Structure 1
Amino acid sequence: MRASIATALIGPFILACCAQSAIADTRAEADQPNIILLMTDDQGYGDLGIHGNPVLQTPHMDRLAQGGAAMTTFFVGPVCAPTRAGLMTGRYHYRTRVVDTFKGRAMMEPDEDTLAELLRHAGYSTGIFGKWHLGDSYPMRPNDQGFDESLVHRGGGLAQPSDPIDNRDRYTNPVLIHNGHEIQTRGYCTDLYFQAADRFITRAVHQNRPFFAYIATNAPHGPFHDVPAELYEKYRAMDLAPVLLGQAESHDQVARIYAMIENIDRNIGRLLATLHELDIERDTLVVMMFDNGPNTRRFVGRMRGMKSELFEGGIRSPFYIRWPARLKPGTHNDRIAGYIDVMPTLLAAAGVQPPDDLDGRSLLPLLEARQPVEWSDRALFLQVHRGNAPIRYHHFAVREQRWKLVRPSGFGRSEPPENVSFQLFDMTHDPFERHDLAATHPDIVQRLKTAYDH
């Protein structure tokens, strides 16, 4: 967290007094909600029943979506760590030192003000369960960055090079990191995260403290060898042709992915039941979103694209937010929004003043509006590719409400090929990006390039 020299010199006495004051103020603030942020890994926009998937069964996610409000044109990064950095800071990931997903390029600058830090300073009990992917060593670990409680894996996922050697690529009975220490667990990884979150939530309620629970599953990210067996057999026996986009060879892999997603859905059902049993549904804000597009080329509605790509199917995520105390179910807003808006939105809900240097803005005025509100148009910038630093115009997109400029030069390349052209789409009249208008609207192309440059 960024702090002044004066703050560092004042010492622990005043800091402790401030913390106790914040907790007291929080307990007195009746409308300060509990917050649950749910984010899955590599689940695509089309991987929900409510989004028209004809095969996958997600009744609890669908119920959560139907019971809340939504931003219907919501964007995330093409890959995971950039989204996570922006989610935690409200700033574009390149500002945070996160430029990629591996080889030391996903270590967030420790001085960033994080959502967890700011909520903890406001009296919240803070916990993370699942995937962090912003640094595994001091001072970048979750417990160094504002989380009181953490049960996570290292790096970008289980069965990756950062895994403890003893884990042996397991999703079942994995070695996880609990508050900085390796522990041997028993159970399937997703179940373990939700069980730990349940205990954390219950404890916070009994302590009469508001809580922030960040539940970020590594499923349905690969590898796919260790998935819930019962659900795998269910989907393996089904006709998946409607979601495979002609790629019959991916039947087994998608069956495994859907097994992981339905397992997440069942856990969300149990989580919602816990909120009901604890009688905190009304005052608990629950957000559901995904970190990037799907990890195979499969159903994404009528959009095109997948993880790592800049077409809508690779960067669109649901953003459902249920808060019975303040948000009317079924409220939908189509203004463009993105992962950088999550932090300011949740801080606004908690009554916490955001830092001055955020790129995002609170979405609450749009979500709470009973009538139209003033909301200036803006551009969102999306870019990520392999390498140590961003290269101008390499694998990037600029998205306004109507226009989208994209240069899909390849996430996997550290240098862009020379022959990749800019593409321009009128998203109002061509929401599925079928007609490139760059040649007929060079003025708009130049305007969006200029916006990117500044």
Structure 2
Amino acid sequence: MLARRSMMKAGLTTAVAGLLGGASRPPGKDQPNILFILADDLGFADLGCFGRDDFATPALDALAAGGLAMHRSYANSSVCSPTRLALMTGQYQYRLPAGLDEPLGVNPALGLSDAVMTLPDMLKRAGYATSLVGKWHLGGLPQYGPRKSGYDRFFGIYEGGADYFAHGMTIRGKFKHDLWENETEIHRTGYLTDLITERCVEELGLFSQTSSPFFLSAHYTAPHWPWEGPEDEDVANRIRDSFHYDGGSDAVYAAMVRSLDRGVGQLLAALKANGQADNTIVIFTSDNGGERFSKVWPLRGMKGELLEGGIRVPTLLRWPGRIAAGTRSDLVQITMDWVPTLLAAAGIVEDDCPALDGHNLLPALLNASIGPDRMLFWRHKAQDQCAALAGKIKYLSLGGHEFLFDVEADPREVANLKTADPASFARLKAAFEGWNSKMLPYQPSNFSYELRGKGNLAGY
């Protein structure tokens, strides 16, 4: 099963080339451009259109007004790099060693192998130009990197986070710079969120000069720690350690999210100015639930937890002429679904794709339906957490205690239905155990938050 699911590039070359009519099929006029915007540690209710009322996010609210707001959207993990692995592969991240929680911070030998077929790989074979701007976090040089996994160009950071002004991390007193142009280390002056936005605008300009459709991954680091707003360079100079647990405030967090919102506004303005807006799918989401200053109401929990606040994320989708403007969806969806969905949008038939765990959402999205009930699964070694979701019913095991919740009627997960509905409890628990038996087991050397003694605020 693992060999079949690993999507080795060599084995797919003939099949994909046959599907596309050659290794470099000329792009068709019906192929949409794709702008995928990924925030880092953004909470479910951190946007005005999702409930934030103490600061404004006008650009993202406008994006929602022009498209679809998805309120039952889930991240593949409650922490960063596993979700990013799922976004690249369309699989449960637990099928690959690099996806077992957050091993990348302590095991540099792990990463996304260039032998694994990825979303940018497959889009590139379909005639797309591809770029990643922002955070990679799927393994470092020389063995791993965006350009080994399907991107034509890369500008950003390889690690899990970076100081917004120094563009690197200070851990236990040692600073490591981390800003790159492809595989070349570079130095720039400026706030990292702004640098990412500026480069994305440049990329959109370059794409406008070609006839090929494009796939631009705009992976912001905001609002991930360290807690620094655009005006906080003096604060940054005083931070002794990038983990920085004594720092931040609601005001600083608001400034970070507002800078992210302004950046998204600039990307949308560039699409319009370049004449690209009408034929571009724009997706905005987060890699996991929010951190300490995030708003997740009416949910409970945060990054690092499998409560809804740790895995449910705000998601926006705009596709002019295909997705009705100003609509809301309660379609249950997870990060890895974007792979088959975007492949389908690009004209690649799902039946001819590699085996994927994600589902093609396109039929449900275009028909504004919520789709059939499906099972989703999570696990997280920290605090011995696991979860299974079937529609509105969720099984959760947390720290040795088991629960059953109706997350539609009880989004705060406080009424344990374990004894009231024993049949559903047994069904979801058994489904989780069956699914888990097909995933890679945790190994003693796998990264665990407890090993750092930091609880759910540690790591990436």
Q: Could you tell me the TM-score, scaled by structure 2's length?
A: 0.81
Return closer, same or farther for 1:232/1:79 CA change in 2, 3 Å cut-off. Answer: farther
Amino acid at match of 2:114: P
1:10-25 superposed matches below 5 A: 18-20=22-24, 22=25, 24=26
- SS of residue paired to 2:124: helix
Matched, 1:59 2:58: yes
Out of 212, 219, 231, the residue aligned to residue 216 of structure 1 is 219
Matched, 1:156 2:136: no
- SS of residue paired to 2:331: strand
Corresponding residue for 1:296?
Answer: 292
Out of 218, 227, 230, the residue aligned to residue 228 of structure 1 is 230
Aligned counterparts of 1:318 and 1:441: Cα–Cα separation in 2: 30
1:329-340 superposed matches below 5 A: 329-340=325-336
**1:304-363 alpha-carbon deviations (Å, 9 max, x no partner):** 111111111111112211010311112332121111111111111111245332111111
Return closer, same or farther for 1:287/1:298 CA change in 2, 3 Å cut-off. Answer: closer
Contact 2:69–2:316 (8 Å) recurs in 1: yes
Q: Which moved more, 1:249-258 or 1:44-53?
A: 249-258
- SS of residue paired to 2:284: strand
Amino acid at match of 2:229: V
Q: Give, in angstroms, the shift of residue 298 of structure 1.
A: 4.3
Corresponding residue for 1:80?
Answer: 80
Out of 363, 366, 369, the residue aligned to residue 367 of structure 2 is 369
1:40-439 superposed matches below 5 A: 40-76=39-75, 77-97=77-97, 98-101=99-102, 102-104=105-107, 107-159=111-163, 163=168, 175-224=178-227, 226-229=228-231, 252-296=248-292, 298-354=294-350, 355-369=353-367, 375-386=371-382, 394-409=384-399, 420-439=400-419
Contact 2:45–2:314 (8 Å) recurs in 1: no
Return closer, same or farther for 1:6/1:378 CA change in 2, 3 Å cut-off. Answer: closer
Contact 2:10–2:115 (8 Å) recurs in 1: no
Return closer, same or farther for 1:168/1:209 CA change in 2, 3 Å cut-off. Answer: farther
Q: Give, in angstroms, the shift of residue 446 of structure 1.
A: 1.5
**1:21-70 alpha-carbon deviations (Å, 9 max, x no partner):** x1x1x1xx212111000011111111111122121211001101111123
Return closer, same or farther for 1:446/1:385 CA change in 2, 3 Å cut-off. Answer: same
Aligned counterparts of 2:250 and 2:68: Cα–Cα separation in 1: 29
Contact 1:34–1:212 (8 Å) recurs in 2: yes
Contact 1:39–1:217 (8 Å) recurs in 2: yes
Aligned counterparts of 2:159 and 2:188: Cα–Cα separation in 1: 18
- SS of residue paired to 2:71: strand
Q: Give, in angstroms, the shift of residue 96 of structure 1.
A: 2.5
Aligned counterparts of 1:312 and 1:232: Cα–Cα separation in 2: 36
Q: Give, in angstroms, the shift of residue 443 of structure 1.
A: 2.2
- SS of residue paired to 1:380: strand
Return closer, same or farther for 1:6/1:133 CA change in 2, 3 Å cut-off. Answer: closer
Amino acid at match of 1:317: V
Return closer, same or farther for 1:365/1:5 CA change in 2, 3 Å cut-off. Answer: closer
Amino acid at match of 1:227: G
Return closer, same or farther for 1:399/1:203 CA change in 2, 3 Å cut-off. Answer: same
Q: Give, in angstroms, the shift of residue 440 of structure 1.
A: 2.4
Corresponding residue for 1:242?
Answer: none
**1:149-190 alpha-carbon deviations (Å, 9 max, x no partner):** 101212211159x9488x9869xxx75111111011122111
Corresponding residue for 1:244?
Answer: none
Amino acid at match of 1:152: G
Poorly superposed stretches of 4+, deviation over 6 Å: 230-233
Contact 1:72–1:332 (8 Å) recurs in 2: yes
Q: Give, in angstroms, the shift of residue 432 of structure 1.
A: 2.4
Aligned counterparts of 1:300 and 1:140: Cα–Cα separation in 2: 34
Contact 1:138–1:144 (8 Å) recurs in 2: no
Aligned counterparts of 2:248 and 2:119: Cα–Cα separation in 1: 38
Aligned counterparts of 2:123 and 2:152: Cα–Cα separation in 1: 11
Q: Give, in angstroms, the shift of residue 198 of structure 1.
A: 1.3
Aligned counterparts of 1:96 and 1:66: Cα–Cα separation in 2: 38
Aligned-CA RMSD value: 3.0
Q: Give, in angstroms, the shift of residue 5 of structure 1.
A: 5.9
Q: Give, in angstroms, the shift of residue 445 of structure 1.
A: 1.6
Contact 1:175–1:185 (8 Å) recurs in 2: no
Aligned counterparts of 1:334 and 1:255: Cα–Cα separation in 2: 31
Contact 1:150–1:179 (8 Å) recurs in 2: yes
Contact 1:231–1:262 (8 Å) recurs in 2: no
Contact 2:68–2:325 (8 Å) recurs in 1: yes
Q: Give, in angstroms, the shift of residue 384 of structure 1.
A: 2.0
Q: Which moved more, 1:144-153 or 1:424-433?
A: 424-433
**1:267-312 alpha-carbon deviations (Å, 9 max, x no partner):** 1111111111111111011000011111105421211111111111
Aligned counterparts of 2:234 and 2:78: Cα–Cα separation in 1: 27
Return closer, same or farther for 1:380/1:302 CA change in 2, 3 Å cut-off. Answer: same
Return closer, same or farther for 1:443/1:353 CA change in 2, 3 Å cut-off. Answer: same
- SS of residue paired to 1:321: strand
- SS of residue paired to 1:19: coil
- SS of residue paired to 1:335: coil
Aligned counterparts of 2:415 and 2:258: Cα–Cα separation in 1: 36
Contact 1:232–1:259 (8 Å) recurs in 2: no
User: Identity over aligned residues, as a percent?
Assistant: 35
Aligned counterparts of 2:216 and 2:326: Cα–Cα separation in 1: 24
Return closer, same or farther for 1:347/1:232 CA change in 2, 3 Å cut-off. Answer: farther
Task: Report how many residues are paired.
Answer: 406
Return closer, same or farther for 1:168/1:37 CA change in 2, 3 Å cut-off. Answer: farther
**1:427-446 alpha-carbon deviations (Å, 9 max, x no partner):** 23323212001122222222
Q: Could you tell me the TM-score, scaled by structure 1's length?
A: 0.82
- SS of residue paired to 1:255: helix
Aligned counterparts of 2:74 and 2:372: Cα–Cα separation in 1: 18
Matched, 1:451 2:431: yes
Amino acid at match of 1:115: L
Aligned counterparts of 2:54 and 2:37: Cα–Cα separation in 1: 22
